[in-house]
Structure 1
Amino acid sequence: MNKIELDKAQSNITETNPARLGTRLKLARQTRGLTLKALSEAANCSESLLSKIENGKASPSLPMLHRLVQVLETNIGWMFEESDGEEGIVFRAGARPLIALDPLRRGEGISLERVIPYSQGHLLQCNIHHIEKDGASAGPIQHAGEEVGYILAGEVELTVGEKQFQLAEGDAFVFSSDLPHSYRNTGDKRASIFWVNTPPTF
């Protein structure tokens, strides 16, 4: 992404709407007949934090969100989708939503630029992960599927299972999503990863 495209994308940032995320989380929980306590225990998170998230007063970390959607048998993309309109075919540079994962906490320094919108009709999910300097994924993530990535810019340390890999622009990776994985920006500038994965299917 060149500077002009990056500036356009940054001006089109769609902050995660905590109220919308909380509403969808609560709907998924109630649809499955789970209490706050049952969901918090199954997803290994505090009941009080979960209550705050459902009320739009807190934002989950990426690993926590993965655990929640796994227990709720839904998809992380559905939690963030702003509209469920008619699918398109082409998504122009600078017009794709850039979703900040932690607008309330600002701890992870990660935003996801949607290459294609989430849809039940797609077999793959595809985003560009933008990781600010010193940003990280806040702990290991683990779910069903397969991951493929390509480093567009910057330097990244990728941890898969017990192994760590130092990656730079032009490097690529692939691994099974059921292996615990995390990443962090180890360079002195923003890093970007073109990331494709098979979404969990339950």
Structure 2
Amino acid sequence: SINMLHRIARALGTSIGELFTELDDRKVHVLRAGTRPALSEGAPRRGKGIKLESLTPFILRGLLQAQLHVIDVGGASDGAIEHEGEEVGYVVEGRLELTVDGESVVLEPGDSFFFESTRPHSYRNVGDTVARVVWVNSPPTY
């Protein structure tokens, strides 16, 4: 699970991205649609249904990381997580329930959010269509 990858990366003092990405020294990185690295969390019938597509490459000592979270109908994060940093997001499509430190809010297309990552947080798709959210973490955690 993604939670397990978080724990492994934290124990190793790194990020999930560093575990899976080759480093290079290009000055400009382009990740084209359909070729972006992605992590998947289970299948919708198991209550997961989340795919995380990287919008930024892993860069050693990078300050941020952006992903497109694609959350199937009924998809949800694997429980609440907490870690160092901050997060900001923008809902492109669908309806997302975001819970931070026990407080839940439903977000719709055009809504954005920000929170400190040290607060326990989780999310789930509460709509009847796939949800797509541009999600940025600083520092990188995936």
- State the shift of 1:84 in Å: 2.6
Residue number in structure 2 paired with 1:56: none
Matches within 5 A, 1:70-149: 70-81=10-21, 83-87=22-26, 88-102=28-42, 108-149=48-89
Residue number in structure 1 paired with 2:113: 173
In structure 2, distance between residues paired with 1:69 and 1:95: 24
In structure 2, distance between residues paired with 1:62 and 1:139: 10
Instruction: Map Cα deviations across residues 105-162 of structure 1 (whole Å, 9 max, x no partner).
Output: x652111111011111421011011111111001001000000000011001000001
1:149 alignment partner AA: G
Change (3 A) 1:76 1:180: same
For residue 135 of structure 1, give the secondary structure of its aligned residue in structure 2.
coil
Residue number in structure 2 paired with 1:164: 104
* TM-score, normalisation: structure 2: 0.86
Give the percent of matched residue pairs that are identical in Structure 1 and Structure 2: 48
In structure 1, distance between residues paired with 2:81 and 2:105: 16
Instruction: Map Cα deviations across residues 13-47 of structure 1 (whole Å, 9 max, x no partner).
Output: xxxxxxxxxxxxxxxxxxxxxxxxxxxxxxxxxxx
For residue 140 of structure 1, give the secondary structure of its aligned residue in structure 2.
coil
Matches within 5 A, 1:21-32: none
In structure 2, distance between residues paired with 1:73 and 1:102: 26
**Which structure has more strand as a fraction of its residues?**
2
* TM-score, normalisation: structure 1: 0.62
Residue number in structure 2 paired with 1:183: 123
In structure 1, distance between residues paired with 2:104 and 2:116: 15
In structure 2, distance between residues paired with 1:174 and 1:184: 16
Residue number in structure 1 paired with 2:9: 69
Is the aligned partner of 1:198 residue 2:138?
yes
In structure 1, distance between residues paired with 2:97 and 2:8: 25
In structure 2, distance between residues paired with 1:163 and 1:189: 23
Contact 1:75 1:199 in 2 (8 A): no
Structure 1 unaligned runs (5+)? 1-60
Report how many residues are paired: 139
Contact 1:151 1:169 in 2 (8 A): yes
Structure 2 unaligned runs (5+)? none
Change (3 A) 1:85 1:101: farther
Q: Which has the larger radius of gyration?
A: 1
